[in-house]
Structure 1
Amino acid sequence: MKLVSKCLYSLKQGIKGIFSNKTMSFISVISVTSALIILGIVFTIVLNINQFIQFAKDEINEVRVSMEANISEEEKAKIKEDISKITGVKEVEYKTKEKSFNDMKKSWGEEAYLLDGVENPLNDFYLVTIDNPDNLKTVSSKISKLGGVEEVKYNQDIMQNFLSMSNMVKKFGSIIIIALLLICLVIISNTIKSRVYSKKEEIQIIKYVGASNGFIIAPFIVEGFTIGMMGSLLAVGACVGMYGYILEKTTSIISKVVGNVALPLTSISMSLIAVLVITGISIGVLGSVLSVKKHLKV
């Protein structure tokens, strides 16, 4: 019963502290919200980049081998056999130009009618799967030297550029996030600190009469927790709303270009709730502890 009374007291005093300094509390909530929105945006971008890299992993492991026109079936079979013998080749699949053209039509969806009456510009080719992307250049070079091979295509350079851009986004985003979180921590600390100063004498008195550090700091932790929670929930709502809107407007376009690689809204929502809420509460509680700690020494 005594524990329940202490918890209710801390909760009441913490909520009271927020409303007794409305301006600073409001600034703190907005600051946390703004920082967490940026965190959510960067986090969402990174998750989708990782999703795309995973999706593209099979693509960069593939080499498209176009054959010279008018070669015989025996020559095609010989090319396949020679390719299969190359170290690093995992699989060789034959693709006719008719099947490739039909696949293209399917990928165009409702706009497939634009290809009606168009002469098939594609060639028969082999789709060669490599066991390791690092071997792409070596294997492709060997394949290009085989008789009957007209052209060898692969996407290693494109993916390397994409990976470099991905790493740059992650590093730049991390720097921005850390800077913003530190700013939020300072603002929340100052918000709580103003409350601590106004109750400095009261803290000292109850400390002298035997109150524990936990009893003294609990209301301020509730205050910081509440500010962090409010900011994180507002940020989650904003990020989920923005992502849902963008996803709705761009899904059809993206799917035509690279396929359906964007993470679904439900998956992003759960990740954002976990990351933003935990981060917001942690900032609020840590800011409170840092503000009150030095006043516990009397």
Structure 2
Amino acid sequence: MIRTFFKHLWQSIKNLRRNGWMTVAAVSSVTITLVLVGVFLAVILNTTKLASDLENNVRISTFLKLGVHDDSKELVDANDQSKKVTNPDYHKIEKAIKAVPNVAKVTYSSKENELEKLTKSLGSTWNMFKGDSNPLYDVYIVEADKPANVTKVSKDIGKIVGVERADYGGANTKKIFGLSKVIRTWGLGAAGLLLFVAIFLISNTIRMTILSRQREIQIMRLVGAKNGYIRWPFFLEGAWVGILGAILPSLIIGFVYRIGYVGLQKSLAQQDLYLLNPNTFVPQLILLMVVVGVVIGSIGSIISMRRFLKV
């Protein structure tokens, strides 16, 4: 049986060489289709990932009222500027925030830190507001345990004494939540549709190559060859076509994706957004394209031969 398999394998390779232009046509069809499939899947899966990151990165900015020093252990004595007294309300608001249901993480940022962030992103003009001219608030950055709980947590925090307001983006954040759901649903659906179109196109191309060899199949049947014996070389040919057709798309997608990742990730990282890591994503995508090519090529060959093997 093993000898028969290798015989069919060698025969399939000879057939690929013998049917040169039809093989080139089939491989070209697979190549073009898999390039489109690879690019589309890379875009859809990364868009879905970014939408999910956006949804999970929604944070509640809790602004403290002016004159509230929740992060200071000591305060300047109102009666004697040279002395300091213990702050009786030290971390009172932070503890109240942590006590709110569904709060996962609380991080403090002073108004000086907030001004520094603005200066880095908007330019040195904001340096004029350093010191007593700083118009910003001290803020607690709050993360909810789930995106769905952001609105409720924001309302509960806004009721705490000493909090000026709790802001999470309101309507814009709800749009982000809605957008992420749309992308996940329709994006993956579109990817599935593209794979279906790929199967249809590649199968039709392979069917054309087999139609051009129907005389060869008829002669084999006339000399008494069994259906399985006739089918195996064509089955392996289809697999070879899928493998050969996946080589160029794999190289193109791998090269382009790594360049795009390096170019985009730096700016995205500043917003806590991350593309799929090429070290894991590219091999998985290449494997998927090879498997799709082999499966479609093999099955396409078998389906296309059925009409010639009927008694």
Q: Any residues of structure 2 matched to 1:112-261 within 5 Å, and which?
A: 114=124, 117=127, 119=129, 122-154=136-168, 156-163=173-180, 164-195=182-213, 197-206=214-223, 208=224, 211-256=225-270, 258-259=271-272, 261=274
Per the alignment, do residues 123 and 297 of structure 1 end up closer, same or farther by CA in structure 2, a change over 3 Å counting?
same
Query: What residue number does 1:67 align with?
Result: 64
2:7 corresponds in structure 1 to 9
Closer, same or farther in 2 for the Cα pair 1:259/1:63, shift >3 Å? closer
Report the 3-state secondary structure (helix = DSSP H, G, I; strand = E; otherwise coil) of the residue aligned with 1:129.
strand
- Output the CA distance in 1 between the equivalents of 2:49 and 2:125: 31
Q: Name the TM-score, length of structure 1 as normaliser.
A: 0.82
Aligned residue in 2 for 1:269? 282
What CA distance in whole angstroms lies between the structure 2 residues aligned with 1:193 and 1:101? Answer: 72
Shift of 1:154: 1.9
Residue 87 of structure 1: CA displacement?
2.6
- Alpha carbons of structure 1 residues 172 and 220: separation in structure 2 relative to 1, 3 Å: same
Contact 1:97–1:125 (CA<8 Å) still a contact in 2? yes
- Secondary structure (helix, strand or coil) at the match of 1:147 reads coil
Letter paired with 1:48: N
Deviations 1:126-152 (A, max 9, x none): 122322222211221222233332232
State the Cα distance separating 1:16 from its structure 2 match: 2.9
CA RMSD between the two structures? 2.9
TM score, norm. by length of structure 2: 0.79
Matches of 2:126 and 2:55, distance apart in 1: 32
CA contact (8 A) 2:57 2:272 kept: no
Q: Gaps (5+ residues) in structure 1? A: none
Relative to total residues, which structure has the larger helix share, 1 or 2? Answer: 1
Query: How many pairs are equivalent?
Result: 286
Q: 1:76 and 1:148, CA in 2 relative to 1: closer, same or farther beyond 3 A?
A: farther
1: distance between equivalents of 2:198 and 2:275? Answer: 27
State the secondary structure of the residue aligned to 2:57. helix
Cα 1:90–1:238 shift into 2, 3 Å: closer
Identity of aligned residues (%): 24
Whether the 8 Å CA contact 1:38–1:177 is kept in 2: the answer is no
Distance 1:76 1:154, change over 3 A: farther
- Shift of the 91–13 alpha-carbon distance from structure 1 to 2, 3 Å rule, reads closer
CA distance in 2, matches of 1:288, 1:141: 62
Contact 1:35 1:177 (C-alpha < 8 Å) held by counterparts: no
Q: For residues 115 and 182 of structure 1, do their structure 2 counterparts lie closer, same or farther at Cα, with a shift above 3 Å needed?
A: farther
Paired AA for residue 253 in structure 1: S
- Shift of the alpha carbon at 1:75? 5.8
Which whole-Å deviations, capped at 9, do the CAs of 1:228-256 have from their partners, x for residues lacking one? 11111111111112212322333333334
Mapped contact 2:48–2:187 kept (Cα < 8 A): no
* Matched AA of 1:69: L
Tell me the distance in 2 between the aligned counterparts of 1:241 and 1:72. Answer: 53
> Helix, strand or coil for the counterpart of 1:46?
helix
Q: Is the 8 A contact 2:62 2:165 kept in 1?
A: yes
Separation of aligned partners in 2, 1:104 and 1:47: 32
